Amino acid sequence: MEIPVMVGAGLVVIGVGLGIGRIGGSAMDAIARQPEAYGKIQTAMLIAAALIEGIGFAALFAV
């Protein structure tokens, strides 16, 4: 593997981790404000996290 490929893969992994972490934190804030909307918030959070992870996998294969 070449250095630019490794750096690109590392940046993809860092970006995905930050994105999913931000979604999780925002979801916890939203659940704390409106506990009755727990199911809807959790569903939206899981869908968004799955999409981010899928894009991350696609970016890793592209690198």
Q: Is the pLDDT confidence value at 63 over 80?
A: no
> What's the pLDDT score for residue 9?
93
Domains contained in the chain, number: 1
Domain residues for the domain of 39 are 10-61
Report yes or no on 47 lying in a domain: yes
Task: Give pLDDT tens digits for 33-51.
Answer: 999 999 999 999 999 999 9
Average pLDDT over residues 14-39: 97
Report yes or no on 43 lying in a domain: yes
> What's the pLDDT score for residue 48?
97
Rounded CA separation 8/58 (Å):
13
Question: In this structure, are residues 12 and 60 in contact, taking their beta carbons and an 8 Å threshold?
Answer: yes
> What's the pLDDT score for residue 49?
96
Report yes or no on 3 lying in a domain: no
Please state whether 30 falls in left (phi above 0), alpha (psi between -120 and 50) or beta.
alpha
Report yes or no on 4 lying in a domain: no
Q: What is the CATH number of the domain that holds 35?
A: 1.20.20.10
